[in-house]
Amino acid sequence: MKSHTSYLTFNVNARMDFVHITDRVQEIVAESGITEGLCLVNAMHITASVFINDNESGLHADYKDWLEELAPHDPSRYRHNRTGEDNGDAHHKRQIMGREVVVAVTEGRLDLGTWERIFYGEFDGRRSKRVLVKVIGG
Amino acid sequence: MKSHTSYLTFNVNARMDFVHITDRVQEIVAESGITEGLCLVNAMHITASVFINDNESGLHADYKDWLEELAPHDPSRYRHNRTGEDNGDAHHKRQIMGREVVVAVTEGRLDLGTWERIFYGEFDGRRSKRVLVKVIGG
Amino acid sequence: MKSHTSYLTFNVNARMDFVHITDRVQEIVAESGITEGLCLVNAMHITASVFINDNESGLHADYKDWLEELAPHDPSRYRHNRTGEDNGDAHHKRQIMGREVVVAVTEGRLDLGTWERIFYGEFDGRRSKRVLVKVIGG
C-alpha cells in the first residue's frame, strides 16, 4: 500500500468565503503515483470546512446568506465567545458544511461527477489555516 | 491492496425522495472479494446525498418536511436559480444530509450497527443520476 | 495492507451530551501498528454522531441550544414517534452533526490540527451504544 500526505495553506481575506481547490487536490493525487484508492481532504481547523458542490457564484452567495440565517455571527449569542473569541458562529456554520470529503481515486484521477468541485470553506478568516490531503491506495 | 469500483444509477420520479441501497452496496462488497477495508459510497451529483439512518417511512416524511423548512423549494429565494435552474434548494438540502458515507468492511461484510441503513437521497429528481461505490482493502 | 477494528461502548446519562474520545481513538491507532493510513470513527447508532470540533464547554452548550432550535425534542412533531419512539428529534440532530469522521494517520499518530478533538455525540441517551474505529494502512 502506498500513501502520500500533503498540506495546503489558506489565508482568506473575508470572514466567510469559499476557495475552489479541485485542481490543487488533483495535482497532489498525481504526485502520489496512486492509481486506485481513496483521497481524504479535510480542514485542520474547527471553524472551516472542506465540501463538494457547484462552482457557481450565485450558489455561493446563497450559501453565505443561508448559513448566516442558521447561525448568525452576532457574538452575543454564543457562550463560546465568553472565552474571548468572536467566532462561535463559525463553529456552527462548519458543522452544516462538514469537515471533510473522501473522494475515490480511479485510474490515477479524482473520480468526481460532472459538476462536483472541491471547496475550502472559511468561516473565521483573516488568519492562516491548513487543509490536509492524504491519498492511500496502490 | 485490492480495490473495486462500481457505479449505481437512479432515476427518482419525485423531486425529493429516499432510496434504500444497503443490499446493493453489500453485493458490491461481496463482488470485491475484500474482507477487511473501507467502503466509500457517494453521490456523484451535487443535488443528491448518500446518508445512513433508519428505514422507517414516518422518519423519511419527517426529513422531507424538515428539509423543506430549512431550505424551501421556492425558486425565487436563490440567486443560483438566475442561471436558469430551479434547484437552488436541492444544493442546500444536500449539505444537511451529506454527500457520502464511509463504512467499515469487516469479515467481508459492511460493518453496520443494528439499525444502520444506507440511503440515496434525491433532492432534484426526474433525471438520471449516479452513485459511486469504491471498496479498498485486503 | 494492515487493518485493525475496535468498538467503543458509551452509556450517556443525559438525553443529549458530548463525550471527548480523542485519546481512546489514538490508543487504538497505536495498537494497530499502522503508521500511514486512514482511521474511520463512526457511530453505529442512528441517533448519535461522531464529530470533530473544539473541547470547550461553552461551545458544547451552544451546540445543544442550537440543535434544540433546529430540531426540537417535542415528541408530537415527528411522525417517526407514532411507531412508539420519542426520539424523532435525535434522528434529525444527528444529521446536522454527522455520523462519522475519517482522520489521516501519519507517522503512527492521528494527524489532527491544533484544536481538532474527536467527540461522540449522543442525542438519545440512557442506553448502551457503540462506536466503531477502523484503521487501515501500512
Work out the minimum CA distance from C48 to partner chain A, whole angstroms: 15
**Would you say B50 and B42 are in contact if contact means Cβ atoms under 8 Å apart?**
yes
Beta bridge partners of A90: none
Helix (H) or strand (E) run with residue B50 in it: strand B48-53
Alpha-carbon A123 to chain mean position? 10
Residues with Cβ within 8 Å of C17's Cβ and at least 6 positions away in sequence, in order, are: C122, C125
C104-135, pLDDT tens digit by residue?
999 999 999 999 999 999 999 999 999 999 99
Nearest residue in A to B48, CA atom: A53
Q: Give the model's pLDDT for residue B43.
A: 98
Q: Give the model's pLDDT for residue A104.
A: 99
- For the segment A55-65, the average pLDDT, to the nearest whole number, is 98
- Other beta carbons within 10 Å of C86: 15
**Would you say C97 and C119 are in contact if contact means Cβ atoms under 8 Å apart?**
no
Tell me whether residues C40 and B136 touch, CB distance under 8 A.
Answer: no
**Would you say B123 and B93 are in contact if contact means Cβ atoms under 8 Å apart?**
yes
Q: Give the model's pLDDT for residue A10.
A: 98
Q: Give the model's pLDDT for residue B113.
A: 98
Nearest residue in A to C59, CA atom: A80
- For the segment B110-116, the average pLDDT, to the nearest whole number, is 98
Instruction: Quickly tell me which residue has 487543509 as its cell.
Output: A131
Tell me whether residues C113 and A46 touch, CB distance under 8 A.
Answer: yes
Alpha-carbon B27 to chain mean position? 17
Per the structure block, which three cell numbers stand in for B126? 426526474
- Residues of chain C above pLDDT 70, percent: 100
Instruction: Quickly tell me which residue has 434544540 as its cell.
Output: C68
- Residues of chain B above pLDDT 90, percent: 99
Nearest residue in C to A76, CA atom: C62
A69-98, pLDDT tens digit by residue?
999 999 999 999 999 999 999 999 999 999
Q: Give the model's pLDDT for residue B22.
A: 98
Q: What is the ipTM of this complex?
A: 0.98
B4-19, pLDDT tens digit by residue?
999 999 999 999 999 9
> Measured between CB atoms, which of C59, C97, C106 is closest to A88?
C59
Q: Give the model's pLDDT for residue C88.
A: 98
Work out the minimum CA distance from C113 to partner chain A, whole angstroms: 4
* Type of residue found at C119: F
Q: Give the model's pLDDT for residue A52.
A: 98
B32-84, pLDDT tens digit by residue?
999 999 999 999 999 999 999 999 999 999 999 999 999 999 999 999 999 99
Chain B CB contacts of A64 under 8 Å are: none
State pTM to two decimals.
Answer: 0.99
- Residues of chain B above pLDDT 70, percent: 100
Q: Give the model's pLDDT for residue C45.
A: 98
> Measured between CB atoms, which of B56, B70, B97 is closest to C83?
B56
Name the CA dihedral angle for B64, B68, B69, B71, rounded to a multiple of 10 degrees: 130
Q: Give the model's pLDDT for residue C11.
A: 98
Q: Single out the residue of B101, B42, A2 nearest to residue C49, CA to CA.
A: B101
| Distance in angstroms (rounded) separating the CA atoms of residues A2 and A11 | 31
Mean pLDDT of chain B: 98
